[in-house]
Amino acid sequence: MGREIDKIVDILNFYKTLGFKELPESFIQSLFRQNSGDLLPSQDEYNSENNKTFIDVLNEEIRNCEKCPLSSSRKNAVCGEGSIKAKLMFVGEAPGVDEDIQGRPFVGEAGKLLTSLIEKMGFSRKEVYVTNSVKCHPPMNRDPFESEISACFDYLKREIEIVYPQVIMSLGKVATYALMGMHGKLKDLHISKLRGKLFFYEQIPVIPTFHPAYLLRNKKDKWLTWEDAQEALRRLR
């Protein structure tokens, strides 16, 4: 460790002698590539630290957001939850009553069903990332308005950029609509027409499937959801 630092100090002095005021990018890259034990973070650790900061900043913004009228009726804005290094991301619609009270996504009955799907797929909730298209609870559990989905979309976009999962499963019409950017087409979409089809959001495959709240009412469609889950697993590298 001590010798590694001496080596780096030598190199830094060398650059200083040459009159450099900043370090060349190639030198910084080479530090990351060197197997320098716990001396420096690896590129992965470095990215992951940065992403943790980005997600903390984003979540703070969400908790204080007043960009749409849902801010005045919510109890808590509900941020995404899980691993920022998740390979698999689930995008729901909007927080329900339980989520609004607890300030956490998918903790009610639909959430229990989603958790059991995640576990059947071989993951824990901590290993995947679970979030919503709209971060605040719409009163009376109504569908979010298009204006609310648009106002909130930037947060989902940034979450996806930070986590950059290998596969996204969109749960129900609203999430699928939001990710497809189908402005003005919400009424025309039905999830049963969309599931089984794949599309891409920023080159990430998106697999539309039924919302767990729908599955609580239509148990037979659980089989189709399981088929969609298999497709998601096949696409994970």
Q: Footprint of ligand URA on this chain (CB under 6 A)?
A: 92-96, 99, 105-106, 108, 110-111, 132, 213
Residues 6 or more apart from 60 whose CB is under 8 A from it? none
Residues 6 or more apart from 46 whose CB is under 8 A from it? 32
**Residue 128: contacted member of ligand URA, ligand SF4, none (CB under 5 to 8 Å, by partner type):** none
Instruction: Tell me if 149 contacts ligand SF4 by CB under 6 A.
Output: no
Candidates 10-18, 46-54, 70-78, 100-108 — which segment interacts with ligand SF4 by CB under 6 A?
Answer: 70-78
**Residue 96: contacted member of ligand URA, ligand SF4, none (CB under 5 to 8 Å, by partner type):** ligand URA
**Residue 92: contacted member of ligand SF4, ligand URA, none (CB under 5 to 8 Å, by partner type):** ligand URA
Instruction: Tell me if 70 contacts ligand SF4 by CB under 6 A.
Output: yes
> Which of 117, 134, 169, 232 lies at the binding interface for ligand SF4 (CB under 6 A)?
134
> Which of 93, 99, 100, 148 lies at the binding interface for ligand SF4 (CB under 6 A)?
148
> Which of 55, 58, 68, 84 lies at the binding interface for ligand SF4 (CB under 6 A)?
68
Backbone CA torsion sign across 173, 178, 179, 182: positive
**Residue 106: contacted member of ligand URA, ligand SF4, none (CB under 5 to 8 Å, by partner type):** ligand URA
Nearer to ligand URA, 115 or 132 (CB): 132
Residues 6 or more apart from 104 whose CB is under 8 A from it? 78, 81
Over its C-alpha atoms, the chain yields an Rg (Å, rounded) of 22
In angstroms, what is the minimal distance from the CB of 54 to ligand URA?
22
Rounded-to-integer distance, Cα 14 and Cα 205, Å: 47
Cβ atoms of 81 and 115 within 8 Å: the answer is: no
Cβ atoms of 165 and 129 within 8 Å: the answer is: yes
> Which of 71, 102, 166, 192 lies at the binding interface for ligand SF4 (CB under 6 A)?
71
Nearest of 158, 181, 168 to residue 92 by alpha carbon: 168
Rounded-to-integer distance, Cα 147 and Cα 234, Å: 35
Nearer to ligand SF4, 82 or 95 (CB): 95
